[in-house]
Structure 1
């Protein structure tokens, strides 16, 4: 229901969709309390090699192997956690850089970001917009460890239909207008009414700036 890509999604994409550039770093880089501890970093990519940097310092270049897990991922098993930035630079089979990805340590959660798959839906009482809700810090960095309980309200020519956070262990009910974030995200489903007009989705969470999204049913 949620449709939120998890880490394993990028592994599959890097193997099965080589026409698209895949460069995914895991884990996220918000580990308060782990400063100075070894925290392995993996990269899923369709490119043969990559170099990892922690706060600008190279952790070495890795290339895919022919056996075991090294066929599917690049691994830096001795990385020591320190807040800041993880940057990975991917290289093609000629050793030329072809892509860069950076993950940053986020500050305190500040506001909600709403992104919809469509701004306009059919006014048939059945059509649904899927709205991804994320939490970011004041600089706009995703807060991947945010777990706020959110509340949803839909007004106008539509109604709240369901929510899902992608957490397989959650027992929260989809149809109730509240749900906890999982890894800083969830998805809200907004359904049209059988009439044309504007629809407004409002999302609230304690300590977060309230977010609103306008849709249209036509």
Structure 2
């Protein structure tokens, strides 16, 4: 395994033939179609989305407003202000219309994908209650909008470039005390690896002891193999300083 630096890692996995692991990451930032509101059948591959808005990701569908104090009204007592009775207040989320549902769709090309490979979608942030579909089939669900999450989509892909990715997001009323964002507000990645691979977040590196003279580096690496079956693998790690 080769670490280009201590934080960002390019991983090389070697078997007895000392062949490198193939790992490619693609940023899915363009050619997304977006529609606000819940849309029946929007997960279907042949759904007609030509009239939807074309957006790039990261994208926040609520940040453009319109601003309205009625968007976040609540009747509360602020004890820190020594209030004795609840009164109607607004502004806790900036008056932005973040409550509601939004759909995102895009074509999903997986370059060179074939037997012996795996494909994973990595969402850096999707607000919120994300339902993810590939070719009309539900891949997974992730409720919490502030955490990154990944989904293995290998079994949902078909050969060629005719795959379709769809994401349904929904913000619930009273889900936040401040403006939480709405939509695919952080990057979306496609990660393609061999069947034998280091998974997302499979490398854990810490420096538990640091002095002016030296430092201890602790590196833990997780390897995944088809069916979890042991294989004769060798993992090489090279740690370089700032000068290379």
TM-score where L is the length of structure 2: 0.27
Larger Cα Rg: Structure 1 or Structure 2? 2
User: 1 or 2 for the larger relative contact order (CA 8 Å, sep ≥6)?
Assistant: 2
Q: Decide which structure has greater strand share.
A: 1
TM-score where L is the length of structure 1: 0.29
